[in-house]
Amino acid sequence: MKLTGAQVVCESLIREDVDVVFGLLGGAILPLYQTLPQYPQLKHILVRHEQAAAHAADGYARVTDKVGVCIATSGPGATNLVTGLANALMDSVPMVAITGQVPRKAIGKDAFQETDVQGVTLPVTKHNYLVMDPSELARTIKEAFHIAKTGRPGPVLVDIPKDVQQEIVDYNPEDVAIDLPGYKPHLTGHPSQIRAAAKLIAEAKKPIILAGHGVIISSAYAELRELAEKAQIPVITTLLGISSFPEDHVLSVGMPGMHGMAYANIAIDRADLLIAIGMRFDDRVTGRISDFAPRAKVIHIDIDPAEIDKNVKTTVPMVGDVKNVLTQLNRQVTSKTHVEWVREIEQAKKEHPSHLIPENNKLLPQYVVRQLWEATKGNSIIVTGVGQHQMWAAQHFFYTKPGSFVTSGGLGTMGFEVPAALGAKVGRPHDTVWSICGDGGFQMTLQELATIREHNIDVKFAIFNNGFHGMVRQWQEFFYKKDYVETRFFNPDFVKLAEAYDMKGFRVTERSKVRETIEKAMAHKGPVIVDFAVESEENVYPMIPAGTSVKEMLEAPMPGRELVDHKDAST
Ligand SMILES: Cc1ncc(C[n+]2csc(CCOP(=O)(O)OP(=O)(O)O)c2C)c(N)n1
């Protein structure tokens, strides 16, 4: 059949099972926008800034098994997507971004709103295209989705000149085939490596699993659990691996790394075998590499061969999809117990109770997180920004439902919390979504409150209002003698702000009012902002300063353990 390029794009999106797109229009993408009403199956959510379109698509993709889609115009529209693309690439999130480009004959002339988007986004996408021939549109969109969601997922950008969107082409969906001879993700583990890994597991006295985002991406929850239970191996979950293993399980040891649970880091330090599953040994996990897991052999399962030996030397690598590899491995792993080892970790938990919240009358941010957990009975998707509140959300809410924690891990993007929560609620409309926000990060994308109100997207925002860029203030306190340069700032009245956006707003200044306000917010149908006036100079503990090791770990001061000797070892 004969269609315009724009119609081919819409037809192709529908064939990829897309039902919602996030975007903001402009001249170069107008032909596509003017075509959208012909396809009511494609719901469009108009954001107020393109960065939010990318983060919303990202949040949507993380809580569904779908690819998130965002759309922007040429030039500034496309460049506004860059942070969102980089964020999705770092955290392996399947996304397709469609951008308008100036007409073909204007390319290279510094035309109005012309930017070399392919060039700009090359390092922040898994792959990108500039479609110069309308007859290649259908295949390109099909390839973009295939690349975005297979292998190690990531964002793919398709840049389409305005006249390519307007031109009439032949479209026969049956004839559209992908043509990617060089792209063949390796999906199953090599049998000899599986045997070698099973042997290491059988020999280990102190094995520990490090479960990452790959477990969630691959939906390998049951397989992970089977491995852990069969061989009685304690499980640590990285920041992005949170919710891949239920935190109420006896073998759960929590999060490792810079702000990980002390006992998780101690367990890694003492382990004789690390089984790293779909994680990439980020520096926030390892600290100083030479001191990381000094006694351990390493089994590393990852779909991306580039991750093997990148940061940590691997004894047995297994390249493949986590679910497949674990299924293969579980067949060869024999039942075992590690009673002494599990007891040793239990003892470390008692000696280093990192999850304890100080009992006092202060409005502590940790307490707010714990109350959110209790009030929701753990039945909520938690979305966060980046900073102290993010770490407290990771530490003090106990995640038991797969895919219930959405956070910007690799890029650490403040401002993620508002649009990603919007996207998550669109993706899982029947789930409660709480966005735990920094007062700094919230103000980076709060314009999206208008989008949220317009579509009545029922997200509950908990702003941790400490009047500071809290995480940076903490570094200034620890490493720069409390020299608070430019971390303190003025905040608007968030309750009035909520009212300005026709939303419900509450302010909480006392610990005793936390729970009832959370319940009121949940009872209200529609979006709510709760402004928690939390302790302004509370610190996140434990902390392993950047570039150091578990030996230099700082734990919360308590009787008999005073804080001493803060060194600036940061890199
Ligand atoms: C876009 C962006 N800019 C700067 C930073 C550096 N940074 C990391 S944490 C942080 C402070 C975050 O403050 P806030 O959002 O209020 O959260 P809090 O740490 O107080 O919980 C900053 C500025 C960042 N991560 N992202």
pLDDT digits (tens, 9 = 90+) for 30-72: 999 999 999 999 999 999 999 999 999 999 999 999 999 999 9
| Ligand 1 pocket test, candidate residues 469, 484, 488, 570, most atoms within 8 A of CB | 469
The whole-angstrom separation of Cα 8 and Cα 51 is 26
* Residues 300 and 307: beta-carbon distance below 8 Å: yes
- Decide: 412 in ligand 1 pocket, CB within 6 A: yes
Phi-psi region of 403 (alpha: psi -120 to 50; beta: other; left: phi over 0): left
DSSP letters, 207-250, are: EEEEE-HHHHHTT-HHHHHHHHHHTT--EEE-TTTTTSS-TTST
**Rg (alpha carbons) of the chain, rounded to whole number:** 24
Q: Please check whether residue 79 is in contact with residue 115, taking contact to mean a CB–CB distance below 8 angstroms.
A: yes
Mean pLDDT of 133-153: 98
| Cα 29 versus chain centre, distance | 29
Question: Which residue's CA is the nearest one to ligand 1's atom 2?
Answer: 414
Q: What is the DSSP letter of 173?
A: G
Is there a cis peptide before residue 246, judged by omega within 30 degrees of 0? no
- Counting from 1 in the atom list of ligand 1, the atom nearest the Cα of 83 is 1
CB of residue 445 inside a 6 A radius of ligand 1: no
Contact status, residue 412 vs residue 436, Cβ threshold 8 Å? no
Helix (H) or strand (E) holding 136: none
Question: Which amino acids are annotated catalytic?
Answer: 50, 112-113, 162, 471
DSSP H helical segments within 64-150, as ranges? 76-79, 82-90, 117-121, 137-149
Residue nearest to atom 3 of ligand 1 (CA): 414
Ligand 1 atom index nearest CA of 414: 26
* Dist. CA 221–CA 164, nearest whole Å: 44
Instruction: Convert the pLDDT of each residue in 157-181 to its tens digit.
Output: 999 999 999 999 999 999 999 999 9
Question: With a 6 A CB cut-off, is 473 part of the ligand 1 pocket?
Answer: no
Q: How confident is the model at residue 560 (pLDDT cuts 50, 70, 90)?
A: low
Is residue 385 within 6 Å of ligand 1 at its C-beta? yes
Mean pLDDT of 203-228: 98
| Burial (0-12, 13-18, 19+ Cβ within 10 Å), 446 | buried
pLDDT tier at 571, thresholds 50, 70, 90: very low
Partners of 72 in the β-ladder: 99
Task: Please tell me the residue having the least CA distance from ligand 1 atom 23.
Answer: 469
Long-range contacts of 290-297 (CB under 8 A, 24+ apart): 291/549, 291/550, 291/551, 292/268, 292/549, 293/268, 293/269, 294/269, 295/206, 295/269, 295/270, 295/271, 296/208, 296/268, 296/271, 296/272, 297/200, 297/204, 297/272, 297/273
Task: For residue 365, give the ligand 1 atom closest to its CA.
Answer: 21
DSSP state of 324: H
Q: Is 207 in the pocket of ligand 1 (CB under 6 A)?
A: no
Q: Residue 526 pLDDT more than 90? A: yes
Is the pLDDT at 565 greater than 50? The verdict is no
Q: Is the pLDDT of residue 203 over 60?
A: yes
Name the residue with the closest Cα to ligand 1, atom 8: 387
- Cβ of 7 closer than 6 Å to ligand 1, yes or no, is no
Look at residue 569 and tell me whether its pLDDT is greater than 70.
no
Q: Is 509 exposed, middle or buried (0-12, 13-18, 19+ CB in 10 A)?
A: exposed
Residue closest to 124 by CA, chosen among 81, 63, 182: 81
What is the model's pTM?
Answer: 0.97
Pairing mode of beta strands 252-254, 273-277 = unpaired
Q: Please name the residue whose Cα sits nearest to atom 13 of ligand 1.
A: 469
d(CA 295, ligand 1 centre) in Å: 35
CA of 438 to the centre of ligand 1 (A): 7
Contact in structure between 59 and 421 (CB atoms under 8 Å): yes
How many angstroms does the Cα of residue 533 sit away from the middle of ligand 1? 17
How far apart CA 232 and CA 225 sit, in angstroms, is 10
| pLDDT > 60? residue 516 | yes
Evaluate: CB of 475 within 6 angstroms of ligand 1. Answer: no
Shortest-distance atom of ligand 1 to CA 439: 16
How much is the average pLDDT of 87-116?
98
